[in-house]
Amino acid sequence: MMKRDECFRILARHIKDEAVVATYSSAVDWVGVAPRELNYLSIGAMGLDSSHGLGLALGRPDKRVVVLQGDGSLLMNLGCLVTIGAIAPKNLVHFVAHNETYEANGGHPIPNRQVDFAGMAKSAGYAATYDFSDLRMFEQQIGHVLEQQGPVFATLHVEPTKPLQYDYPSLYDPKKREAFKKVWQA
C-alpha cells in the first residue's frame, strides 16, 4: 500500500504542461503538492472527472491530459472506461486512487474492495494498464507510464487518509476555471 500524497508528489515531478483533472480527496492532495493553472478541478458531479478529461483530450489532441480519479468516483461512471477505450485518445492518462473507501463521505467502504479496475480498463480497450502498490516501483515506472501512447490506465493502491480539509469554494473558484481555460486554449 502507498500513500496518495506520496504518489502525487512523485507524479508532480514529471508533470509539465499537461492538464491535470482531479476532484475531492485527489484534488485536495494534488493541489497541496502541485498548485498550478492547468489543474482542472471543477467537476460538478461525482464520477464525471474522467469524462471531463476525455473532453479535454479530444479538444486538444496536441496536449496531454492526466486524470486523477478516486475509486468511488470511477464506480459512479464505470461506463467511461468503455467510452474512453473505444475513442482511444492517445493523449489521456487515467489514474485511479484505490483506497477502497468513499473518503470524502465518511470513509465508508466501496461495495467491493477487491474490484480490479486495471483489469476492467484493459478489457474496455485501454492501450496500456498498470497496477501499482509499491511506491518504489511507481517511482521507477511513472516516467514510462506518462510517455505511453494512450489511453493509459493505472491503479494506485493507496491507504485511506485521515479526514482532509475540503475547501470547496477555493477548489471550485470560477476565477480558476477561467484561468485554466485561458492557458489551455493558448
- Cell representation of residue 89: 485518445
> What are the C-alpha distances in Å from 160 to residues 115, 164, 173, 176?
16, 11, 27, 28
Interaction between residue 53 and other proteins (CB under 8 A) = yes
Chain residues 95-134 in contact with other proteins, contact rule CB under 8 A: none
Interaction between residue 88 and other proteins (CB under 8 A) = no
The nearest distance, CB 131 to other proteins, in angstroms, is: 23
d(CA 64, CA 28): 21
Instruction: Please work out the total of residues on this chain that contact other proteins, with binding judged by CB under 8 A.
Output: 33
Contact status, residue 59 vs residue 125, Cβ threshold 8 Å:
no
Among residues 15, 22, 48, 66, the one that binds other proteins under rule CB under 8 A: 48
Interaction between residue 55 and other proteins (CB under 8 A) = yes
- Cell representation of residue 55: 473532453
Q: Which residue has the cell 461512471?
A: 77
Interaction between residue 169 and other proteins (CB under 8 A) = no
Interface contacts to other proteins, rule CB under 8 A = 40, 42-45, 47-60, 77, 79-80, 82-83, 86-87, 172, 174, 177, 180-181, 184-185
